[in-house]
Structure 1
């Protein structure tokens, strides 16, 4: 029998003032606390015996996705209580407000209409429907021109190298999706530059031919320091190679809400696609920010990705809470964070083409829900957000799965795996799928002292050696995890997966009463960074910084000849 789950610290389980202002909230919280106390000593495997229809109750389907949460420390009763808590928070009205285009981003007084970007024309709010249609048509036209060879570079050659220059949401989404889908249909070499580290842009440029390279500069304000620094370096490289600043007109596109700034850089207004303040950067893959992906895979596949995401939007809007995939994802994170004191969540796609998916989710979840005050500005006294991390299996099995199996912290996981591969090597894919299920089985069942001892006896080890080694080989099991299964990783399936995680973030924001659509924590570091840069260059005094920072500024100046 697997060992019980690790017993969490007692703090914050019985009471949580800010989350329990209403009597109904307090009652639900106390009921969930009792559930947790009962489940902490109940192996998950035993729940399958106690609930004969457990797999039926705890497996959900939407679109091409099957989502299995039967391997979690929950019962149908737990799920029902969590759903009641979500309803008590006013989830229905807040979800309706999200889709209607109301100003759910209350701090910045903006809508959050990423869902409208992938909706059919008539399903969009009136005020943005035409803008989205026009932008999609422009992006589709440009992508077709580039893919067909109609749009040419300064010397008359078609483009072969596509370089996206952006950071944050202007990089992570397109980069992740291009890696995931590029193998489906792409004649281009795709590159993504984000870091201010000069090695990033230089390494990419060394792999490109100037006369065949197209740059896409993505920056909502067209003032993002990292992006403009890299764009300037790219422009200098291009114009030096082709001998004229006029080359910028043919070799640069921009995605920005400030076309006049892009024009000042040298980009023609006809080559600037719009961004809107009602779409946050980390939710912008569906917009013109997805232009490099359109070019890489073509408009048909890009539209399939949009349609897949919209399919999940419809599911999220209408499915009962207990069978609603994004809702359950959000509830599980809340359950483990608030009642089990879990601090992180791992995402392991058994799909090499999804290797960048965990990094994409890091921004989506941690930038959205890493907040310390409620929507009304009151400090929270409970956990918000989780550390998200992961990587592609089977690689991760040989790096950090050891922590899952024998570590002492509670780390809920998501596994993602396709029934088929887009690659014809079916035998290798069978072993990939087998490894995913094997990891799930090991996490659930483990191997106790008696089992590992008997195994060593069959291997002929002496009893003294068994006594010495057996404790080290015990795998407690009973580790909670979910499994996403899909037919194969298509553009539509990718859209469905992304939309599930987007809506998970929203569900948790409702439970925590926080705004998932601003990111003021990002802004402070940006402004300080510019001040430090001036001090490093000797253009400003370092007196305003702490002693430790002043010491490092002095070291940098000495190493680089600054005074």
Structure 2
């Protein structure tokens, strides 16, 4: 039977609080010294990924209590409900079935009494035909030239996921096609993209479920006008513009042929839509076979998450470790640190996946939480961060767990570059664990030639406390399957945390208010009237905008 009381008043929550008090001053250096098998004990493999979570402030008792918390919150039941198509997104009355988009099993998945798998598979078949025509030069532009560039116009999940996967899988790109992502409603962004392109050889994909998303439609209409102003005709639009949308009427009115409009479904949230036709630019870049391999990698992680016992379930373990730090250590941020140039867009994608999902303060039954939920997600790529924000990680007053992510082999082996990159990754996680005591700092300075008195004065500046936790996710080499599994891993980690916290990880009402106010502010900005009706700050900023339009 499900636990129905306040989460923070449950026996297991109180036991975790007491356990935290007993363990919080233990140093991981001592934990490793006492347990030479710690790496093997806190290590798991799944779907081609390996997770070393031994550098966490945990012991056997910690994990037992965390798994007990997961069982109290009926995590396995919630997981099964999500995969079966139940309306787990209660505030919108929808399932969350992004997993159906990569379902390679023979399970039917029902939504409102209808098996959705035939339509899902038909969409992949249509994507295959589309990609084949473009990549084999069977579909050409209005002047019969082959396409050289694809511009994907979308925002949010229609942008971040595909951009991440496109960057991550750059070694698999067709060299004849360049893929560009246009999201920001900023004249500088669209100008910098379009000035390098030839309208006769450019294909546009407009990604908007409603075909009314303000930023996407503004950019789409600007691209349409650019095309018409530079050689294209109205009757040529269908050769150069396609769409992923559920609003066929608006898309066809734009000039897109109905057969070139791919579906979007209400049961797929934007931040999970990479796996759908939203991934069309990616499929064009890497080919439909590699796109299917991406789906297979995600499916492998889905099956692991769906069937593995909690104690051997990678997304669940990562979710519980996050809860341990957020709710019992008071941590409010988490760093994503990929040591791979091709994964440089991963932190930005995971910001949306995590913060849009679990940035909630009300439970699914409408009660305000009395505990912390999703942390701030941030990070950066490779050794760059070591010369920037890693200082705070090592010596700052804030305590931020880290995920180090690295392939063991490079697509571009040059001299010993990759060994150096991996050595930096491992040494950073080691330094966060180990730290440097004041006595060690003094000894180091004296060994370098400083006299004892000066060393004692300087040593406090060089103390690094250590005992700062990290996970290390590693794999042999980036591939479509590996990248699919990696992205799905984080999707499921976030979902599992939401299930345990009792919040809805699949809606995003917090983004609506800014949209609602934005139209009113835009009207005021474009007016010459003295603004009123807003707060004093907004009124003042509107006046400043109006006045500065004469600046040039």
Q: TM-score, normalised by structure 1?
A: 0.94
The equivalent of 1:57 in structure 2 is 41
8, 13, 20: which is aligned to 1:36? 20
Q: 1:426: how far off?
A: 5.5
Q: How does 1:318-397 map to 2 (within 5 A)?
A: 318-397=307-386
Q: Which residue of 2 aligns with 1:138?
A: 126
1:93 corresponds to which residue? 77
Residues 1:316 and 2:305 aligned together: yes
1:380-417 deviations in Å (ceiling 9; x for gaps): 11111110000111111111100111011110010001
Which secondary structure does the structure 1 equivalent of 2:116 belong to?
Answer: helix
1:205-245 per-position Cα deviation (integer Å, ceiling 9, x unaligned): 01111111111110011100100110111111111111412
Cα deviation, residue 124, structure 1: 4.2
Match of 2:413 in 1: 424
Q: What is the CA–CA distance in structure 1 between the aligned matches of 2:388 and 2:220, rounded to whole Å?
A: 36
Structure 1 residues 73-472: aligned runs within 5 Å: 73-120=57-104, 122-126=106-110, 127-187=115-175, 188-425=177-414, 427-472=416-461
- Is the 8 Å Cα contact of residues 166 and 194 (structure 1) preserved in structure 2? yes
TM-score by length of 2: 0.96
- CA shift in 2, pair 1:426/1:64, >3 Å: farther
Taking the aligned partners of 1:347 and 1:41, their CA distance within structure 2 comes to 25
Deviations 1:308-346 (A, max 9, x none): 010011111111212211001110111101000000000
Inter-CA distance 523–540: structure 2 relative to 1 (3 Å threshold): farther
CA shift for structure 1 position 465: 2.7
Gaps of 5+ in 1: 1-18
Following superposition, the deviation at residue 539 of structure 1 comes to: 8.0
- Kindly state the Cα deviation for residue 463 of structure 1 after the two structures are TM-superposed: 2.6
8 Å contact 1:350–1:392 — kept in the other structure? Answer: yes
Separation in 2, partners of 1:22, 1:460: 60
Query: Aligned to 2:474, what secondary structure does the other structure show?
Result: strand
Between 183-192 and 497-506, the greater mean CA deviation after superposition:
183-192
Q: Distance in 1 between matches of 2:387 and 2:236?
A: 48
- What per-residue deviation string (whole Å, max 9, x for no partner) do you get for residues 184-219 of structure 1? 232211111101111111110011111111111100
Q: Secondary structure at the match of 1:123?
A: coil
Residues 1:216 and 1:24: Cα distance change in structure 2 (over 3 Å): closer
Q: Distance in 2 between matches of 1:20 and 1:350?
A: 43
C-alpha change, 1:42 and 1:186, in structure 2 (3 Å) is: same
Structure 2 unaligned regions, length at least 5: none
Relative to structure 1, the CA distance from residue 230 to residue 140 in structure 2 (aligned partners, 3 Å threshold; closer, same or farther) is same
> What secondary structure is seen at the aligned counterpart in 2 of 1:438?
helix
Shift of 1:144: 1.4
Q: Counterparts of 2:19 and 2:285 in 1: how far apart (Å)? A: 49
Give the C-alpha shift of residue 474 in structure 1: 1.2
Whether 2:514 is the aligned partner of 1:530: answer no
Q: Provide the aligned C-alpha RMSD in A.
A: 1.7
Out of 94-103 and 28-37, give the one that drifted further: 28-37
Distance 1:418 1:23 in 2: 39
Contact 2:150 2:204 in 1 (8 A): yes
Q: Measure the CA separation in 2 of the matches of 1:359 and 1:23.
A: 31
The question of whether the paired residues in 2 share the 8 Å contact of 1:98 and 1:112 is answered with: yes
State how far apart, in whole Å, the 1-side matches of 2:196 and 2:167 are: 17
Counterpart secondary structure, 2:230: helix
Give the distance between the partners of 1:426 and 1:166, measured in 2 at CA: 39
Match of 1:488 in 2: 477
Asked if 1:27 corresponds to 2:11, the answer is: yes
Question: CA shift at 1:560, angstroms?
Answer: 2.2
Contact 1:217 1:253 in 2 (8 A): yes
Q: Give the paired residue count.
A: 544
